[in-house]
Structure 1
Amino acid sequence: MDGKFRYSMNYQLRQQVEQMEQDKTARATPSAAESAVRTFMPEIKDERQQFKVVYPLDYVYLVALPAGLSGQTSCVQIADYWANNRPAPEEYFPDFPRENISHDTVRRLLMLIDPQQFASFYSRLVTPLLDKMASRIVAVDGQAVRASKNPQAASGRYLLCFWDTENGIALGQKLIGPKGNEITYAAEMVKDFDLAGCVVTADALNTQKEFARELVDAGGDCCLAVKGNQKHLYLDIQMAFADVTETRGKLWGSKCTLAHGRIGHRSVCVLPASVLAQDHLDDWGGLEEGCIVRATTSCENKKSGDASQLDRFFISTLRWDHPFVADQAARAVRRHWGIENELHCVLDVDFYQDRTQCKNANYINNRILLNKFGIAVLNKLQQKETEKTGKDAMSKRRSMHKLHAVPSALKALSEVYAEVIHA
């Protein structure tokens, strides 16, 4: 009557009914993340008597995986997450258990799963998320879970991890036994991963001949720190760099401003490994065509003028005749710290890993893999956010806070796994 266009009442009602039908269909359709879990769950073998099972393993992990995105990976947290968010999975799955799970049951199930089976399950979840980019840097290092002390491990149980620094994903881990050590486990774990084309970095503890040989056989390169535990090699490398000149080696350098009023300068000098004695070249696989590296970090205090300098030495199978070998070596040396800053620090600060008080090996192994799965998905979400907005992504703590509820966590998992499922 006033000359303004209006939708009829019947049209508006039809639109509302259609929207309700769409919402109902969306709720009844499992997300990409749920489809992924369904696809990968057969890796987990349930040893329980099936006619007595109240809480199927696939549903327990369907809840535990989204809970891990917000750092809720303790038994009590997973049980509370189940109770607080049960209506959401009940909409997707008619046979979802109607009873709340207890934290004792969660703990028992985490202890029941064989670590090798759970590691295989974890690998199948994260492998599709890996971007097969050229020259990936994989850092190898161990970390102690401080609260898991026992007579055999006074500083806590120790886990050795292979960390893909470019993708921000832990490829896998191994819980070191009371009578084991990093040296033997590192060489064994090389066979578990596809490291072809990767540059694997490690600290001096893992600079071992067998480890280097396994990496070369796997089709990868290495850049290994050398210190006093390889005494003769260490001294020979120092002597080789004692009279180095700019025309003899390949150089790389950069200047940067550090925290606390300091100015830092990093430089890398690379020499052909052929300057070493033939005995060293014979002992270390792939080194004959490789190089030796000196990484120098100097620091100057802007106020006091005090200066300090630190030299670190490495052996590498990166080919000396490559035109950008100095840049490759500098990148490998620098990116090794990604395992400390982007994995170990996040586990301790955001996932409270040092508070994991448990003596059972299966539990601690499986619980920490849940943490690392959460980090892998969070890193992928940050990467997608940066690509979409062109700005720095929000911090992990803020992302974890936003993923506390099941719908938002499942939506995030669906976003990460959408391309995998559709492929």
Structure 2
Amino acid sequence: MSLGQVRTEEKSNEITAIPRLLEALDVSGCVVTIDAMGCQTDIAETIIEEGADYVLALKDNQKGLRASVEAIFDRLVESDHEAHSPHKHVTGGHDRVETRRCWTVDVDEKGLVDQTGWVKLKSICLVEYEKFEDGERSVERRYFISSLEPNPEKLLEATRRHWHIENRMHWVLDVAFREDDSRIRMGNAAQNMSAVRRLALGLLEQEESLSVGTKNKRLRAGWDHDYLEKILRQI
């Protein structure tokens, strides 16, 4: 379910839009997860001011911090230190096995990480994603910083939920609604249509009387007015 959106101004990007969206929503008591674009000191500060915690993906837009965190976890994983053993989650089926391992470190531990500018930064996190599919193995490592305590189980769950929402929503909007093919550009039309698509997606996913995908539910609503009315009555 999509709870809100703000328009990215011309010659701007998500960095300026994210704080406006956070201020428009009630995120108090929540854990806010954002991709690397949102890994900015002022965004972290806004999240804390709004009464929430943050888990922010760390990539090369924060090169110094990323290099420091990566070096810490390289040593940690190589040493296999018992005090920092990872939490593991395994899923699989149909010749595919996915394993996620999460290591966390307290940023105050031996002053390992420069916390300058990062409000209430408490932990750094490594999530290793290992996949076996059709006999092939792949491994990907992702790094995060967080205001949460260094609890690997909780941080792994936060990152898993983020990927699930991000991948599922974007994939369905592209496949079922062909959002990426849209050429709507004039005025506020693109923003308005984006809101309508997300509202429609939420309604279609809540309707569970048909055991079919979102695309087929949408087609059914187009030719069956009774089914369309059933969906709209959820509002």
Q: Shorter chain as normaliser: what TM range?
A: 0.7 to 0.9
TM-score for the superposition, normalised by structure 1: 0.50
Structure 2 counterparts to residues 123-202 of structure 1, below 5 A: 169-202=1-34
Given residue 28 of structure 2, which amino acid in structure 1 is its aligned partner?
A: A
CA positional deviation for 1:307: 3.7
Higher relative contact order (CA 8 A, sep 6+): 1
| In 2, Cα distance between equivalents of 1:363 and 1:302 | 44
* Misfit runs of 4+, over 6 Å: none
Matched, 1:271 2:105: yes
| In 2, Cα distance between equivalents of 1:182 and 1:267 | 29
**CA displacement, residues 209-236 of structure 1 (integer Å, 9 cap, x when unaligned):** 1111111111111111111211111122
302 and 285 in structure 1: CA distance in 2 versus 1, 3 angstrom threshold: same
Return the match for 1:349 from 144, 161, 175.
175
**CA displacement, residues 95-146 of structure 1 (integer Å, 9 cap, x when unaligned):** xxxxxxxxxxxxxxxxxxxxxxxxxxxxxxxxxxxxxxxxxxxxxxxxxxxx
CA positional deviation for 1:170: 0.8
Aligned to 1:281, the other structure's residue is in SS state coil
Aligned to 1:256, the other structure's residue is in SS state strand
Identical-residue share of aligned pairs (%): 26
User: Mind listing any 5+ residue stretches in structure 2 that lack a counterpart?
Assistant: none
**CA displacement, residues 179-200 of structure 1 (integer Å, 9 cap, x when unaligned):** 1111111122210001112211
Matched, 1:316 2:135: no
1:240 touches 1:275 (CA, 8 Å); kept in 2?
no
Return the match for 1:363 from 173, 189, 204.
189
Number of the residue aligned with 1:297: 129
TM-score for the superposition, normalised by structure 2: 0.87
Return the match for 1:403 from 214, 221, 232.
221
**CA displacement, residues 131-190 of structure 1 (integer Å, 9 cap, x when unaligned):** xxxxxxxxxxxxxxxxxxxxxxxxxxxxxxxxxxxxxx1111122222111111112221
User: Mind listing any 5+ residue stretches in structure 1 that lack a counterpart?
Assistant: 1-168, 386-391, 418-423
1:296 touches 1:309 (CA, 8 Å); kept in 2?
yes
Aligned residue pairs: how many? 231
| In 2, Cα distance between equivalents of 1:279 and 1:246 | 19
Q: CA RMSD in A?
A: 2.4
**CA displacement, residues 375-410 of structure 1 (integer Å, 9 cap, x when unaligned):** 11122223xx5xxxxxx9432123223322444322
| In 2, Cα distance between equivalents of 1:318 and 1:196 | 14
Given residue 170 of structure 1, which amino acid in structure 2 is its aligned partner?
A: S
224 and 276 in structure 1: CA distance in 2 versus 1, 3 angstrom threshold: farther
2:7 touches 2:17 (CA, 8 Å); kept in 1?
no
Given residue 127 of structure 2, which amino acid in structure 1 is its aligned partner?
A: A
Number of the residue aligned with 1:203: 35
Aligned to 1:196, the other structure's residue is in SS state coil
